[in-house]
Chains A and B, each alone.
Chain A
Amino acid sequence: MANMQATKTPMPEQDPNVRNKNFKEVTLGYTAEMAINEAKRCLQCKKPHCVEGCPVNIHIPEFIHEVAEGNFEKAYEIITDTNALPALSGRVCPQETQCESKCVRGNKGEPVAIGRLERFVADWYRENINAMPKKAESNGIKVAVVGSGPSGLTCASLLAKKGYAVSLFEALHTAGGVLVYGIPEFRLPKAIVANEVEKLKAQGVEVMTDMVIGKVLSIDELFEMGFKAVFIGSGAGLPMFMHIPGESLKGVCSANEYLTRINLMKAYLEESDTPILHSKAAAIVGGGNVAMDAARCAKRMGTDKVYIVYRRGEAEMPARLEEQHHAKEEGIEFLTLTNPTEILGGEDGRVCGMKCIKMELGEPDASGRRRPIPIEGSEFVLDVDMVIMSLGTSPNPLIRSTTPGLETNKKGGIIVDENEMSTRENVFAGGDAVTGAATVILAMGAGKKAAEAIDRKLQGK
């Protein structure tokens, strides 16, 4: 008999007023008891819609059935059959718009907490078994994967499973892409990402850091070196700025820079040599998940007042609801329908305020969201000494500008066919490098699809 409790089994988390002063993980995860209790809420549908909602089509009812029975190792095997990185996706997926949005229990009450269960299984496995995957029998075929973010990690892992000799090229000094430089420790502990990279190495994947493809090696040179196919998962890391006066003042930076200093360079730790801006009052401009991450980091760095400044309304915010709630609980103030027009500086060249204008919503624009229109005469000055621009990112031009014949769209995304193959023979691409900034799980889905397409292509199937 299923557990008919209408709401999700709650997951313990750190108290907001404690956690906004440390970088430890906010949510603490289920105990085995909680997981079994939650798993019993699953009705084991004959036609499970949740699976359709998952970009990598995890066999959800099957793994949840094993959790309910207490067979956590079996559950892990079922998940990793289709998803190489469950500890990551269980934490950072927007389940509310994916698997959980299709769960029938959601029609009356809350859906089954699929994400939390996935995370529990992955954490349980890492803490209790943590067996490194075995190396598959080699087929001797070399494949290069460019970029070690979610799409690259997934693609490399699946290809290694099939016996390919995979080399993974990463431009930074640590593998993981946005998982290490973007998403903060308090949402995704870096030890978990490192563990996934160790698993890749155990599978025989050669992980090469400090390799800026497009500079140190071109895509053509990779083929000359004997790679039979290349997967480009280089992401969308190019930050946008507003081009308003004062944006070059000291104390203005992109969210990418702020987050890279904190997460990758560990600037929040006393022992790190990388400096970071300290602030009394900070404005984070933008309303996406990255803006929430930057705001919550700023709070943890001891910033007294942290504002999210967003030109549309709260309903239009692209950030996950859960992230918005967490940010508010931690004391971050939301200034919606507000847009900066100028950043003000003192004689020392430092930020001493931000001029803003109030907005109202007009007709929907091309993106389907109501267009914000400035309200005349509503200007005011926000008292801040740091401004973090979190306006979105676009694909980095480094690879497309050094690869002849690789076609991209107007926004710089690599153009691919239904098999994720680009306009260059045997060059595949996926994730943000194709779509522009999107989600971790979509990138993982693209990496999975590309691995399958590469296998079909190289095996002549």
Chain B
Amino acid sequence: MYKIVRKKELNAAVTYMEIEAPFVARKAKAGQFIIFRVDEKSERVPLTIAGYDREKGTVAIIFQKVGLSTEMLGSLNEGDYIQDFVGPLGKPTDVEGKKRVCVVGGGVGCAIAYPSAKAFKEAGVETDVIVGFRNKDIVILEDEFKQACDHLYLMTDDGSYGEHGFVTVKLQQLLESGIQYDEVLAIGPIPMMKFVSKTTEPFGVKTVVSLNPIMVDGTGMCGGCRVTVGGEVKFACVDGPDFDGHKVDYDELMSRNSVYREREAEERKTHICRIQKMGEELIK
């Protein structure tokens, strides 16, 4: 069992948690992920590591309540325990040998972009960050990003905060201004990563994307997370989750991620009682 030692609501839908998991904290690196399971009946769900404290033995996660398991996790509080917390899994973000990079984060994907930006900055890489949100109300981690980069560009789709427009608009401007990036790292919704890759392609800038396919075990034994990269089948849990953004088959990934959608919608309706029950038991 793994204890929740800190919880903070970042906005109405996004929650930050620190989990006591000393073994994971010892080895965790930016870009890697964990798999959690709330209780005995729960599914295994992957989440990228948002931070870690090796001395305290804690690992931070940031998640959006989008379905049954994340709702259940979000309903828990400091001092509660979850059943399983496995990691660190996947390969870490490669920060070596770069002079200047641009990290692009979209929505809750910023939670994953943040530790990578920080890792680049700490490795002495000049780091630009572009983060995008739908509107002002869902902006997260602004102060943290300011600390973790050299230039921060905050965009909102509706212009209610920061600059108006998508992240790709800003990225295009920066590339056109003649900045030479060794790498652009994009993390967010699949369409956003696809369009970031399209934006960088004409400039010939190496682009890395952090993929988020459906996973079960996260250790390479099932292939549920397989993605096509450059015509080859890769398992995101062990070969990734970072891949060459110019070679990923995004449409296939998007299609595969929808395979259980109907079932998930149904689950959310019929299983919502489990969350209530859990809550009642905790009150007791």
Q: Given A273-B69, A275-B263, A275-B264, decide whether A396 and B44 contact each other with a Cβ distance below 8 A.
A: no
Within 8 A of A (CB), among B101-141: none
CB-based contact B84/A173 at 8 Å: yes
Q: What CA separation (Å) do A251 and B258 show in the bound complex? A: 11
CB-based contact A254/B87 at 8 Å: no
CB-based contact B228/A210 at 8 Å: no
Closest chain-B Cβ to A252's Cβ sits at a distance in Å of 9
Q: Is A180 interfacial (CB-CB < 8 Å)?
A: no
Q: Is B86 interfacial (CB-CB < 8 Å)?
A: yes
Within 8 A of B (CB), among A56-77: none
Q: What CA separation (Å) do A215 and B223 show in the bound complex? A: 18
Q: Is A256 interfacial (CB-CB < 8 Å)?
A: yes
- Interface window among A13-21, A30-38, A257-265: A257-265
Within 8 A of A (CB), among B238-283: 238, 249, 252, 255-256, 258-260, 263-264, 267, 271
Mark interface residues in B14-40 (1 if CB within 8 Å of A CB, else 0): 000000000110110000000001000
Interface of B is mostly: mixed
Closest chain-A Cβ to B42's Cβ sits at a distance in Å of 5
Task: Specify which chain A residues have a CB less than 8 angstroms from the CB of B47 in the assembled complex.
Answer: none
Mark interface residues in A205-239 (1 if CB within 8 Å of B CB, else 0): 00001111001110000000000000000000111
Task: Specify which chain A residues have a CB less than 8 angstroms from the CB of B238 in the assembled complex.
Answer: 397-398
Number of interface residues of A (CB under 8 A): 38
Task: Specify which chain B residues have a CB less than 8 angstroms from the CB of A273 in the assembled complex.
Answer: 41-43, 68-69, 267, 271
CB-based contact B224/A253 at 8 Å: yes
- Interface window among A241-249, A359-367, A453-461: A241-249
Other contacts beyond A241-B233, A272-B43: 8, CB < 8 A: A209-B84, A237-B221, A243-B233, A248-B228, A248-B249, A248-B252, A274-B44, A398-B219
CB-based closest 10 A-B pairs: A237-B221, A257-B222, A349-B255, A274-B43, A275-B260, A250-B259, A275-B263, A273-B43, A210-B86, A254-B223
* 24 A-B pairs with C-beta separation under 8 A: A171-B219, A173-B37, A212-B219, A215-B87, A215-B88, A215-B219, A216-B88, A217-B23, A237-B220, A237-B221, A243-B233, A248-B233, A253-B223, A254-B223, A254-B224, A260-B222, A273-B43, A273-B271, A274-B216, A393-B221, A396-B219, A397-B238, A398-B220, A398-B238
B contact residues vs A (CB 8 Å cutoff): 23-24, 26-27, 37, 41-44, 68-69, 83-89, 216-217, 219-224, 226, 228, 233, 238, 249, 252, 255-256, 258-260, 263-264, 267, 271
